[in-house]
Amino acid sequence: MNAQIEQDLEAQDSISNIENNNIFQVKFFKALSERGIENYEKAGEILESLKKEHSEKAVIYFQLGLNYFDLEQNNLALEHLEIADQLKPNDFDIREALFKVYEQQKNYIKAIELASDLALKKPEYYEILANLYLITEQYPKAIDALTKAEQKQGFDVHKDQLREVIYEAYNKPKKAISYYQKRVELEPYNPLNAIRLTRFLIQSEQYRKALETSKSLIDNHPHFTRAYVLKTQIHLKLDEVQQAFDALEVVVSDRFLEENYKVKAIEYVKSYVENHPEYQEAFVQVLNVASKTAENSASFLDLGLFYFENDKPRALENFKKALAQNPQDFQILRYISILELQLNKPEAAIETVDQALEIFPTQAVFMLIKGQALVEQTQYNAAESVLLEAESYIFEENNLMLQLYESLQRAYKGLNEEEKSNTYQAKAKQLKDKLK
């Protein structure tokens, strides 16, 4: 259900001077009462009967528009609100309701036109207008509207986030840099301004200036560890690898920094090391240091991923440490169960999968792993049951479905059901050819 367009009784009085007609008043306020308890259909029926007798009253069309909007009948809502607007031009409440219908219908030209007028009376519409300009890719107008919102209402987190999104979409980092340089001067106490300035300096490949900004940020806000995330990236851009590792160590060792920032810094370095394998050992050492001090699973998870292809026992060891710190993580449970199966530990894999299925009961990937482990244990009947259950949750022709067909083929072969085994073997071959 769409959000209701709420109006109090004062708003209704402002739209139309209701005549002192007892019958009209009784019916009209009955309609308002029905609307008040969200009985929009009943309210609409009463108002439709009043419309026949009082076709000149804007308030009836207005209320009908509101009810049809809440019933998600937007065409009827628009029809009645436009009539109300004609009968009582420039009424704020009617035009605000019209705006919401246009916005819902994605008629952005009309929505922008109305929002521009509504903003003159209600400044919060400047921010709404900025978002509409962003949607329609009118970036200079979006920035202008947001600037007006800031002038009228001041800065806040939501406006700052919207502005950053606009600048990102606009893809003109120089304009963003100019703005955030002024914000840093205006609000030196707010480290997020310097963070955003640094990001756009990196985007425009002004790495030395970005480094200077990040260093200044750290000097002014020494406990704001997020600055080191960008510092890691900048040093790598400048091929200053040791400084990047030093910054990474600060990031991953901070017990209070959110995990997503740590993962981001790790990804920067991992990407660099993939192209410069001579730094792999140094990278692992930093992660090992972090894993001993951090209270989150980021370092262990990344060590697990790092060893996944080349040292599966060490990968499994690190994934288990990550799981101990984050026992309901889908990806960690998946990696552990896969590795246990690959390391010929089917009983352990089944135990891990059963733990996962208690949290994610409809995840076919865990059912598939359990079925494969049961096949390895020659428990073919149990494997058939769990694999057929997994089949009911796989809807796309992908690698997961291919593995399922191959596993069912093995299960039925173990059960000496050659016909079914051949059927799934054929399905697997057909799907494999399709996925090539």
The pLDDT value given to residue 299: 66
Q: What CA–CA distance (Å, rounded) separates 38 from 194?
A: 48
Cα 185 from chain centre: 32
Q: Please state which CATH number belongs to domain 225-326.
A: 1.25.40
Domains of the chain by residue range: 172-223, 225-326
Structure tokens at 275: 């192209």
Q: What CA–CA distance (Å, rounded) separates 240 from 207?
A: 12
Mean pLDDT of the chain: 88
What H or E segment, with its residue span, contains residue 221?
A: none
Tens of pLDDT along 46-100?
Answer: 888 888 888 888 999 999 999 999 999 999 999 999 999 999 998 999 999 999 9
Structure tokens at 280: 């792999």
Tens of pLDDT along 41-59?
Answer: 988 888 888 888 888 889 9
Q: What CA–CA distance (Å, rounded) separates 133 from 147?
A: 13
Q: What CA–CA distance (Å, rounded) separates 193 from 338?
A: 43
Say how many C-beta atoms besides its own lie within 10 A of residue 75's C-beta.
Answer: 9
Contact (Cβ atoms closer than 8 angstroms) between residue 91 and residue 58: yes
Structure tokens at 295: 């209270």
Tens of pLDDT along 5-38?
Answer: 334 333 444 444 444 457 788 888 888 888 889 8
Q: Is the pLDDT of residue 436 over 90?
A: no
Contact (Cβ atoms closer than 8 angstroms) between residue 408 and residue 424: yes
Q: What CA–CA distance (Å, rounded) separates 170 from 138?
A: 9
Say how many residues make up the chain. Answer: 436
